Chain A
Amino acid sequence: MKAALLLTGLLAPWAVSAALSALLRGSPRLAGRLTAAAGALSLGAAAAIWFVVLGGEVLVAGPGDLFRADALSALVAGCIAAVSGLAMLPWAGIGKDQADRDRARVFRIFGSLFTLAMLVAVTINNVALMWVAIEATTIVSAILIPLHRSKASVEASWKYILIGSVGIALAFAGTVLAYFDFVSLLGRRHDALNWTLLMDVAPTLHPDVLRLAFVFLLVGYGTKAGLAPMHTWLPDAHSEAPAPLSAMMSGVLLAVAQYAIIRWKAVVDAAGGPAFTNQVLMALGLLSIGIGALSLVRQQNYKRLLAYSSVEHSGLICLGLTFGPAGVFASLLHLLNHALAKSMSFLLAGRVLARYSSAEVDRVSGLVRTMPATGPLFAAGMLALMGLPPFGLFLSEFLLFRAGFTSGHPVATSAAMLLAGVGFVGLAGHLARMLHGPGPDGVAAGERDWWMLAPLAVSVVAMIALGLLLPDTVARLLGRIAEAMSI
């Protein structure tokens, strides 16, 4: 009963929000408020789930135990509810003209559906239905990329839906192969694809077949997670999408794909040991860190900078998974920190873009003077993404590298540290140019809509709290996941 209530509280508000946004065409202000309220409700449920799961309970609800939330679900669902709740606030404003209002409405409808699909993906028990939900995220988010239609956004949305759909189709092939292995041993059962049952029987499955399945799954979900070399759609889509959508895609959609990889890694590891999955994850992780970091140096567009930084951080998360329980702990902490820092940075980048009318680093200068509140917050987000103290990403990167050395991977860890250093230098140089100097002519100084920045200031406080003290509620949850993952 409690489980059903909490999971309904998590998911239902977004379904209602999508439906009401579609129906309330005539009253955009009311629809905007309702969406914000839905976000708050969902976030509240996510927090409650977090605390229940912390006690060691696993929430199961629905016909045939359709929904299930354990510590890992609670972590990712918490990130999704927080980031989407933030991104679905009326960032675009209610809008002055009808076209603006229509765009805001479309964004509320599909943004709510997008959030719903992500939340379903991380709370559903059946791995094939998880795939259905993740594929749905591609479709609904692709609709939103060309919200402001231009040649660049049409191109970005095409690449996104084609590469994303092809990638995710391969993940389904991997799911079918794993199901095939299950069926060949235990016969056809309707609950065969339930994650819990799959984990129970994993030690008896054929490692050979599961390894082949894992290759497909990793290529598939890795495409969605922005892992190199399947990342090519990511910089385009994340930079051309409207800022709040970029915040959701970069902040939490990547985390949802990582979630799927983590789930499957546990199954494959239980069948044949972690050596194989660790090898391929390490290779893709290092490649992503490298490509992300090197692109940061030569990139001239600040939204693309943020996108390539996502490739780098996605690679770090992937790498950390191969460093034993301490590495899994660090990796998931990194996922949480990255969700906070990246969503905030993209939302602020949207404000900067609106003021300067250009996404080129060279066209933006004197940000601190022109936008006295947005500027420093943006700087805080970027410094956090560089991995500087006192922000959470510093702590998680430190823990990740330490886990790498103690688990006996000095070469891979050193390489990752070196590449992360390159990324640091790249971002720092661009940031310095944007912040200082005189503002360009024709760009008004001063800050509008101060209240919009309040939630982002809360994000900064949360990032610092995660960096300085690592709250016990977070540490215990991550500890629980790391424990469950180490077999």
Chain B
Amino acid sequence: MQGVFSQVAVMGSSGMLLCAMIVLWRRGVAAYISAFMWQSVVLGALTAAVGYFGNDPQLYVVAVLLFGIKAVAIPKLLRRVSQRFTAGRESAPYVNTATSLVVSGLLVLLAYAAARPLEAVADAPTRAGMPLAMGLLFISLFIIISRKLAITQVIGFLMLENAIALLAVLATYGVPLIVELGVFLDALMGFLVMQIFLYDIHGTFSTTDVDVLERLKH
């Protein structure tokens, strides 16, 4: 039983990491949105699995919320935004695809080094997934700084939130429910405001390439 639990945790984490790498590999925003959606589906399923193996029914509530907000509602809104803006391709990111993939590999290695004190302390069967969650966190940050479209940056940010949710569920079987609800509220509000700003940027600059955002320097 413990062995199965541990394998589920590692597989789920690896799957989420892979979804993040799709953003570095592909160029079309539609593919990014699908990658984020599938990442959220895996996160929701993994949360439910941890709830089942770890015997914590509260996590089912969290899993349902995750699924509803991150796998259904937000991808839907993202698709609507990207259809409104015609240029749905990340044509010239700051870092090219090959380099990006090498960097992401290095970031995962770094994550294994950074997570060593955590693994030394943890005794949960899920602990093998924790470095992967840390790796996902670093890769999401890398997506945000290396890509040019504002919508890609938003997707990177959403993946960063997924990484932290993954870390929380693996390390502690989730944070207390009241905190979880607060985090969901913030995540949803934050995304809605970002979405408004995406429209603002497009309305003001007629593009969402953040290269145009350079009026304010120094």
Q: Please list the residues of chain A having a beta carbon within 8 angstroms of any beta carbon in chain B.
A: 126, 128-129, 132, 135-136, 138-139, 142-143, 146, 149-152, 154-159, 161-162, 165-166, 169, 172-173, 176-177, 179-181, 183-184, 188, 190, 192-193, 206, 208-209, 211-212, 235-236, 239-240, 295, 298-299, 304
Contact = CB atoms under 8 A, between A and B. Distances in A.
B197 A184 contact: no
B179 A149 contact: no
B189 A166 contact: no
Interface of B: 114, 117-118, 120-123, 137, 141, 144, 150, 153-154, 157, 160-161, 163-164, 167-168, 171-173, 175-176, 178-179, 182-183, 185-186, 189-190, 193-194, 196-197, 200-201, 204-205, 210, 213-216, 218
3 tightest A-B CB contacts, nearest first? A132-B182, A208-B117, A180-B171
Given A176-B167, A192-B176, A151 B215 contact: yes
A139 B204 contact: no
Given A132-B182, A166-B144, A180-B122, A152 B216 contact: yes
Given A192-B176, A193-B176, A212-B114, A154 B197 contact: yes
A152 B121 contact: no
B172 A158 contact: no
A170 to B, nearest CB: 8
Contacts of B122: 180, 184
A173 B216 contact: no
A171 to B, nearest CB: 10
Question: Which of B157, B185, B218 has the largest number of chain A CB atoms within 10 A?
Answer: B218
A342 to B, nearest CB: 20
A158 B205 CA distance: 13
A132 B189 contact: no
A410 B101 CA distance: 46
Contacts of A209: 117-118, 121
A179 B114 contact: no
A169 B172 contact: no
Nearest to A300: B218
B147 to A, nearest CB: 12
A329 to B, nearest CB: 33
Given A152-B216, A173-B167, 17 more contacts: A136-B189, A139-B186, A143-B196, A151-B205, A156-B216, A157-B200, A159-B213, A162-B154, A165-B157, A166-B157, A176-B172, A176-B175, A180-B121, A180-B172, A190-B176, A298-B218, A304-B218
13 contacts: A129-B182, A132-B182, A150-B204, A155-B214, A156-B216, A166-B144, A172-B183, A177-B118, A177-B171, A180-B122, A184-B122, A208-B117, A236-B216
A152 B215 contact: yes
A284 B215 CA distance: 27
A177 B70 CA distance: 23
B157 A169 contact: yes
B194 A173 contact: no
Contacts of B153: 162
A132 B216 contact: no
B106 to A, nearest CB: 19
A3 B85 CA distance: 53
A142 B194 CA distance: 9
A212 B118 contact: yes
Given A129-B178, A172-B183, A149 B171 contact: no
